[in-house]
Amino acid sequence: MKNKKILISFLVFFIINCKEKEITYYSEITKIVEIKLGDKLKEYDVVYIIPGSGCTGCINSAEKFFIENVSNERCIFIFTYYFSRKNLILRLKKENFDRKNVLIDDENIFYLEKYNEKVFPIAIELENNRVSKVYNF
């Protein structure tokens, strides 16, 4: 009986501790931003990721926000999963894409296909070169 209790306790402990940690959109995008931008993070306070496809109203608002705030060099804007690079540049003005704080993600690295949240623009606040907060904007 005592051995059975020990075995059951061991199995419960094993199952609880070996349970795979839930990976969320926000934790995965955090990891990608920190890896891909690396040392560049010290130059910015906020990273804005704007998808080209998804919630149309949200994306339109984010693009308007981009036009109004692109001159803030403490913000970096990343455009991902866009239909046409040419259309994107024409619509949002070529001179804006010549800035060092604007990136076009041609490889869709910042568009996490398996997550529903990918269709919304997100803001990633930085503190001490690390992500401190991630949210939809």
Q: What is the pLDDT at residue 20? A: 46
- 28-66 pLDDT, tens per residue? 999 999 999 999 999 999 999 999 988 889 999 999 999
- 7-31 pLDDT, tens per residue? 555 445 545 544 444 679 999 999 9
Domain membership of residue 41 as a residue range: 22-136
User: DSSP class of residue 81?
Assistant: S
CB atoms within 10 A of CB 26: 16
Per-residue pLDDT averaged across 93-114, rounded? 96
Which residues are CB-contacts of 34 (< 8 A; sequence separation ≥ 6)? 41, 130, 131
Looking at the predicted structure, is the pLDDT value of residue 125 above 70?
yes
- Whether residue 11 lies inside any domain: the answer is no
CATH number at residue 114: 3.40.30
3-state SS, residue 46? strand
- Whether residue 14 lies inside any domain: the answer is no
Overall domain count for the chain: 1
